[in-house]
Amino acid sequence: MVNGVINVRKEKGMTSFGVVARLRKIFGIKKIGHTGTLDPDAEGVLPVCLGKATHLVEELSGGTKSYRAVLLLGVETDTQDSSGQVLAQSEALPKEEEARAALLSFVGKQVQVPPMYSALKVNGKKLVDLARKGIEVERKGREVEFFSIEILSLKLPRIFFEVTCSHGTYIRTLCYDVGRKLGCGGCMESLVRTRVEEFCLKDALTLAEIAARKEAEDAAGAAEYSFVLPIDHFYRELPACGCSEGGVEKALLNGGSARLGELVPLAIKSGPGEMPEEAAGCVGNREGRAPDGQRIRIYTKDGALIGIYQVRGGSAELLRFYNV
């Protein structure tokens, strides 16, 4: 089974769930999850976790994200983007400097009310399902942060911009809020996600490209796929350790803990093309010197990642098990 993360370029017109469904067919596995929904009309970076890497979904979903978007002023819709039903229109557009100032004023921490047309749940029901039935419920505002907003071009009624923001931020709601602030209304006309933490648009692959590369590498007898980042790539800053004896390894594979003196430092690769890491910083040594709270990764003698552990009282205690 394939275990790792793929940087997928979601194409316009597909749902995020549709991307996962296609990947299940391409790889012939069921255990797949994406790290952050993109609306069907949006496109761009969508990291997808396969196999054991699905344990990383929550961790990867919480990072910062960057987008390239177009704000259309003078139009307000029920979905807050141009695909929705028009609720109001205005020809009284602001001056360019007013529009610029309004958008840039959102840099920093803001309280944003999630849109009704979203996958968020209230009392166990998705907001989008309620919205489609014409039901609107009260949503609590939540704090989000816009780390940067850069205006690329301003051609009213459109503003072309790039934004980097925190997890859980809705760019179409930003467009709606800017329109409300200007008094003319606004909606999002297009959206491309250009980055999710280390995953960038220039490196992302379409589903067709993934299928073609998999077929080519299967034919070449590749042991692992070059376009799939292994799980330990995302823990590469942590010291890597192995077991000094078979009994310790067996205990760890059964979910147990180990004394630091039973571990040995390793120099390993954490991704395709990467150089082996230095082992000098590994806390797994017979002196048992390591501060409580230090996280480490432990491997089997065959090089398989067992899990992520935390040092406590001279022992390595399990935090996340990957040998499942």
Task: Specify the DSSP element, H or E, that contains 18.
Answer: helix 16-27
Active site residues: 39
Largest CA distance in the chain: 76
- Write the single-letter amino acid at 319: L
Are 80 and 173 contacting, i.e. CB atoms less than 8 angstroms apart?
A: yes
Are 162 and 66 contacting, i.e. CB atoms less than 8 angstroms apart?
A: yes
Are 62 and 43 contacting, i.e. CB atoms less than 8 angstroms apart?
A: no
Structure tokens at 213: 């590369």
| Helix, strand, or coil (residue 186) | strand
Calpha distance 275→271 (Å, rounded): 9
Tokens 């998705």, residue? 126
Q: How many CA within 13 A on the CB side of residue 216?
A: 8
Calpha distance 25→41 (Å, rounded): 23
